[in-house]
């Protein structure tokens, strides 16, 4: 049997952690994977030595993939094969999560909270399929160990707080919480792990790095890595805003303090101003029975899978579409305007 050819189309570093579980199951069954990194926001040194990376769109077209997987919102139609959306985060509250941009044939959703909405959109538009698979990034979440430092801190009776804000200027808490996090790092015996989205404004990345460098007793660490699973396992609670990582953290049955969450639910300790942060942290570290139940219910609706098999389900759904065809009745739109924008963005004009 001829090996199938799969392409991973990426534009950001968060894609590595999402797609590597899928790469593992594809290679395990003898099929091929090649990566195509577009734009300037992928750190090429993050590729492992045994990963196959294409140098250009022309190379991707010559590779002629049977299907391409994208964690982002876009993949141009001049890349051959089926287009599969696997999403870059669990958080569905951000603007644009449910926008249909006419690029994809198959949407692999994470759980009831998003599947129900996408099923309605599939019925409305009629040219793409929906399969609930879970999210491949989470295949390793439950088995990833905490940082070695965590055990030492807990032995000292210290709590670990992960601060993971979103980058969006309209939603990020990074400016509003800076002074309060600085104060708490100096006055409270918490250990802060700070993980920024790759798109976070450089100004605030540098400010928090200065805080870490000048902080008391090494209470603040800014972590720069493509992986966040170990940080999620290490933290006792998280502080955020409307970041997609809130959903991932909730799957571990841990509490999150959010500042001005766009759609706050009872699974969050949501605050409206920085001065409320200290009290909210205490509530999160000592969650009520009602808060624990709310977190559990939210996690089950968002992503009910903890079996580590989401990547396999995505691959199976893709293989089924390759062999049986798309179930949707309508043809995908030509999408001329968006694909023209893709050509301009990628500076690619070959046909």
156: CB partners within 8 A, 6+ apart: none
pLDDT at 226 over 90: no
The CA distance from 257 to 282, in Å, is: 10
The CA distance from 73 to 157, in Å, is: 43
pLDDT at res. 99: 87
State the pLDDT confidence band at 64, using cuts at 50, 70 and 90.
very high
Match domain 148-302 to its CATH number in 3.40.50.12580, 3.30.470.20, 3.40.50.620, 3.30.450.40: 3.40.50.12580
Cβ neighbours, 10 Å, residue 142? 13
State the pLDDT confidence band at 220, using cuts at 50, 70 and 90.
very high
pLDDT at res. 95: 62
State the pLDDT confidence band at 97, using cuts at 50, 70 and 90.
confident
Residue of 125, 114, 65, 53 whose CA lies nearest to 86: 114
The CA distance from 206 to 173, in Å, is: 15
DSSP category for residue 56 = S
The CA distance from 134 to 112, in Å, is: 10
Cβ atoms of 260 and 292 within 8 Å: the answer is: no
The CA distance from 67 to 8, in Å, is: 9
In the CATH hierarchy, which top-level class contains the domain 5-140+308-346? alpha beta
pLDDT at res. 171: 92
Query: Which own/partner pairs from 275-284 qualify as long-range (CB within 8 Å, at least 24 positions apart)?
Result: 275/180, 277/177, 277/180, 277/181, 277/184, 277/239, 278/180, 278/184, 278/188, 281/161, 281/184, 281/190, 281/237, 281/239, 281/257, 283/255, 283/257, 284/237, 284/255, 284/256, 284/257
Domains 5-140+308-346 and 148-302 share a fold: yes
**Torsion sign (Cα): 253, 130, 313, 139:** negative
Q: Helices 277-285 & 174-187, crossing angle to 10 degrees?
A: 70
pLDDT at 216 over 80: no
pLDDT at 93 over 70: no
Domain ranges of the chain: 5-140+308-346, 148-302
Task: Read off the pLDDT of residues 243-290 as tens digits, 9 standing for 90 and up.
Answer: 989 999 999 999 999 999 998 999 999 999 999 999 999 999 999 999
What percent of the chain is predicted at pLDDT more than 70? 98
The CA distance from 47 to 9, in Å, is: 14
């Amino acid at each position: 049997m001829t090996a199938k050819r799969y392409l991973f189309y990426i534009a950001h570093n968060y894609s590595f952690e999402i797609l590597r579980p899928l790469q593992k199951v594809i290679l395990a069954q003898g099929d091929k994977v090649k990566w195509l990194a577009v734009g300037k926001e992928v750190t090429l040194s993050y590729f492992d030595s045994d990963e196959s990376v294409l140098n250009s769109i022309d190379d991707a077209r010559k590779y002629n993939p049977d299907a391409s997987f994208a964690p982002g919102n876009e993949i141009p139609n001049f890349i051959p094969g089926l287009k599969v959306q696997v999403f870059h985060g669990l958080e569905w509250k951000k603007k644009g999560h449910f926008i249909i941009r006419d690029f994809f044939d198959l949407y692999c959703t994470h759980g009831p909270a998003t599947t129900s909405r996408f099923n309605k959109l599939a019925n409305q538009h009629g040219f793409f399929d929906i399969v609930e698979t879970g999210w491949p990034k989470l295949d390793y979440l439950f088995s990833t160990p905490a940082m070695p430092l965590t055990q030492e801190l807990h032995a000292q009776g210290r709590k670990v707080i992960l601060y993971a804000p979103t980058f969006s200027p309209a939603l990020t808490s990074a400016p509003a919480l800076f002074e309060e996090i600085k104060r708490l790092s100096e006055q409270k015996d918490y250990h802060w792990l700070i993980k920024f989205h790759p798109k976070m404004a450089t100004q605030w990345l540098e400010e928090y790095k200065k805080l870490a460098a000048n902080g008391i007793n090494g209470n603040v660490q800014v972590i720069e890595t493509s992986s966040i699973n170990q940080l999620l396992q290490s933290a006792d609670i998280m502080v955020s805003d409307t970041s997609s990582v809130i959903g991932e953290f909730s799957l571990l049955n841990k509490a999150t303090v959010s500042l001005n969450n766009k759609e706050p639910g009872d699974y969050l300790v949501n605050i409206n101003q920085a001065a409320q942060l200290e009290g909210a942290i205490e509530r999160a570290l000592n969650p009520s029975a009602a808060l624990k139940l709310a977190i559990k219910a939210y996690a089950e609706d968002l992503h009910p899978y903890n079996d580590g098999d989401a990547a396999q389900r995505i691959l199976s759904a893709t293989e089924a579409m390759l062999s049986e065809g798309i179930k949707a009745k309508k043809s995908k739109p030509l999408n001329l305007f968006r694909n023209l924008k893709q050509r301009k963005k990628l500076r690619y004009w070959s046909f």
